[in-house]
């Protein structure tokens, strides 16, 4: 029997990107068979069985794209390490194909973008197969303070693959769940504040939120141009680095990219250093450890692992004015949301009946039975009431985020203690789903890096009653390589990633 191009003879689940690439190179499988494997697994676990509902739409052209990429490989054309590998992307990232781009909202069904998002173009150039779109907290959790993470009007509720009655967090819920449940090789999420690292943590995977301006946001449905960024989500740090390499590229139409053009690298995977924890000075941000005894206890062995690896822990370090940063970030978000959504919707043209945030609010009111069955649109309404981006309230808050969060918070504290990075729990364990009252999550550690526009990465670190906990490394702008090196060293020491078992509940 010819074993070539047959996934029966290799283990796909939990396989790394480099492992899949090697399998493709040695003819142990094909891109077409990888796509078929993931499609079947999605049908079995996402649409039936545990009913994860992490994938909102499959790409109807995925098989034909895979066949074309297989042909290129056979003819000696290799685009790179993710050539022919199936990747899922979040439903707020535009694709100019037969799929929708809706941010989970029924209002945008049929409103097709005029072009691929820049990072989708980068994926296609790198030879990835865009397998489909992932479900998400509708409008990137920007619609209501009472939202339930992972729910959208179009996609329904995404469930945590470890314990199905627990939240997958958000807003990149589907991307995190699909990666964790081995429904794809890796995925792309987006973050404004915690939307990559939060879901990654509670779903037991790695998530990287890059420096704002490292990756293009063009073609991504916006919440805040000061805070938004896409980022890779995968089962290992190295996979995130390989995906980051593919996504990176200068987009002159994204103003945030122009300030850091000399810092760009396309070799993040090669820049990960071995034994980077040895001698590294890590600030333990106790302000983000929460108050729950079980969570505090779970992270004590984590800190011991860092010490035993040779890291120097400065414990604790105190970051000033966190509440000031929190309120300033909220003001920035409310102002920029209206401006960004108006600009995006207006750019869809006459074929879309939703042209601005006011139209979107009206659509949701008319379709409240489907769109607002569980929570309203209070954030939308607050944003609609805000003034322009020239208002003193907005400009003062923007400066507050940049100065207090970045300069006084991250940069000054790191200089004071001579730190290489901060470490903190990413969040608590996944909380019980409550569509009536909304999220009841433990506070996470995403705020400071979000407001400052600096990078953070979460890696599986511990477990509570089978629920994953992540450890976040965060630091200064453009230091993705350093953070990934530290996280990769920790990952090698712990091997904390365990595949989910799709338990119905943790209760007896």
Which candidate in 21, 30, 90, 441 is catalytic?
A: 90
The strand pair at 151-152 and 156-157 is best described as: antiparallel
Distance CA 347, CA 439 (A): 33
130, containing H or E segment = strand 129-134
Q: Do residues 31 and 66 make contact, with C-beta atoms less than 8 angstroms apart?
A: yes
The strand pair at 467-474 and 456-464 is best described as: antiparallel
Q: Do residues 409 and 319 make contact, with C-beta atoms less than 8 angstroms apart?
A: yes
Taking the alpha carbons of 295, 301, 303, 305 in that order, is the dihedral positive or negative? negative
Which candidate in 30, 54, 148, 171 is catalytic?
A: 171
Give residue for tokens 């000696």: 76
Query: What are the Cα distances from residue 159, in Å, to 135, 165, 175, 198?
Result: 11, 7, 12, 14
Give the SS3 label for residue 265. Answer: coil
Q: Do residues 419 and 413 make contact, with C-beta atoms less than 8 angstroms apart?
A: yes
Query: What are the Cα distances from residue 113, in Å, to 116, 225, 300?
Result: 7, 19, 48
119 beta partners: none
Residue 387: other Cβ atoms inside 10 A: 11
Give residue for tokens 């980022």: 231
Token pair for 362: 């009206």
CA end-to-end span of the chain, whole Å? 47
Chain length of the chain: 508
Q: What 8-state DSSP symbol labels residue 230?
A: E
Characterize 407-439 residue by residue with b for buried, 16 or more Cβ atoms within 10 angstroms of its Cβ, and e for exposed.
ebbbbebbeeeebbbbbbbbbbbbbebeeeebb
Active site residue 195: yes
* CA angle in degrees (0–180, nearest 5) for 73-76-78: 60
Active site residue 171: yes
φ/ψ of 472, rounded to 5, equals -100, 135
Burial of 51 (0-12, 13-18, 19+ CB in 10 A): middle
Which candidate in 195, 201, 427, 456 is catalytic?
A: 195
The strand pair at 186-191 and 86-90 is best described as: parallel
Q: Do residues 502 and 49 make contact, with C-beta atoms less than 8 angstroms apart?
A: yes
Taking the alpha carbons of 453, 457, 462, 465 in that order, is the dihedral positive or negative? positive
φ/ψ of 229, rounded to 5, equals -160, 145
* CA angle in degrees (0–180, nearest 5) for 219-222-228: 100
Query: Which residues are tagged catalytic?
Result: 90, 171, 195
């Amino acid at each position: 029997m010819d074993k070539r191009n047959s996934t029966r003879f290799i283990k796909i689940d939990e396989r790394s990107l480099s492992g899949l690439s090697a399998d493709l190179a040695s003819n142990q499988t094909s891109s077409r068979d990888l796509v078929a494997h993931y499609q079947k697994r999605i049908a079995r676990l996402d649409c039936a069985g545990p009913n994860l509902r992490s994938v909102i739409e499959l790409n109807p052209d995925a098989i034909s794209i895979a066949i074309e990429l297989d042909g290129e490989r056979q003819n000696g054309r290799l685009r790179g390490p993710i050539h022919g590998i199936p990747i899922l992307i979040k439903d707020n990232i535009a694709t100019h194909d037969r799929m929708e781009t809706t941010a989970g909202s029924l209002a945008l069904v049929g409103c097709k973008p005029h072009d691929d998002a820049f990072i989708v173009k980068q994926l296609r150039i790198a030879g990835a197969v865009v397998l489909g779109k992932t479900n998400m907290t509708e409008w990137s959790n920007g619609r209501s303070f009472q939202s339930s993470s992972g729910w959208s009007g179009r996609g329904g509720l995404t469930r945590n693959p470890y314990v199905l009655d627990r939240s997958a967090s958000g807003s990149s819920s589907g991307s995190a769940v699909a990666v964790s449940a081995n429904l794809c090789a890796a995925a792309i999420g987006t973050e404004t504040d915690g939307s990559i690292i939060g879901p990654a943590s509670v779903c037991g995977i790695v998530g990287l939120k890059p420096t704002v301006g490292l990756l293009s946001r063009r073609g991504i449905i916006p919440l805040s141009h000061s805070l938004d960024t896409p980022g890779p989500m995968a089962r290992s740090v190295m996979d995130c680095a390989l995906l980051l390499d593919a996504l990176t590229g200068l987009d002159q139409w994204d103003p945030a990219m122009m300030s850091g053009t000399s810092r760009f690298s396309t070799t993040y995977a090669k820049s990960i250093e071995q034994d980077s924890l040895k001698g590294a000075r890590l600030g333990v941000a106790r302000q983000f450890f929460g108050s729950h005894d079980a969570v505090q206890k779970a992270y004590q062995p984590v800190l011991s692992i860092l010490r035993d690896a040779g890291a120097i822990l400065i414990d604790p370090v105190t970051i000033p004015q966190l509440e000031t940063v929190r309120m300033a970030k909220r003001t920035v978000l409310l102002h920029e949301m209206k401006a960004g959504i108006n600009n995006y919707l207006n750019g869809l043209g006459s074929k879309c009946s939703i042209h601005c945030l006011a139209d979107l609010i009206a659509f949701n009111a008319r379709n409240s039975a489907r769109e607002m069955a569980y929570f309203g649109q209070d954030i939308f309404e607050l944003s609609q009431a805000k003034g322009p981006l020239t208002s003193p309230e907005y400009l003062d808050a923007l400066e507050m985020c940049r100065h207090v969060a970045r300069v006084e918070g991250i940069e000054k504290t790191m200089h004071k203690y001579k730190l290489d990075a901060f470490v903190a729990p990413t969040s608590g364990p996944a909380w019980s789903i409550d569509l009536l009252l909304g999220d009841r999550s433990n506070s996470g550690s995403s705020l400071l890096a979000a407001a400052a526009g600096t990078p953070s990465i979460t890696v599986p670190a511990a477990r509570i009653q089978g629920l994953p906990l992540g450890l976040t490394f965060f630091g200064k702008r453009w230091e993705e390589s350093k953070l990934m090196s530290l996280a990769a060293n920790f990952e090698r020491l712990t091997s904390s990633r365990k595949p989910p078992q799709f338990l119905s509940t943790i209760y007896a």
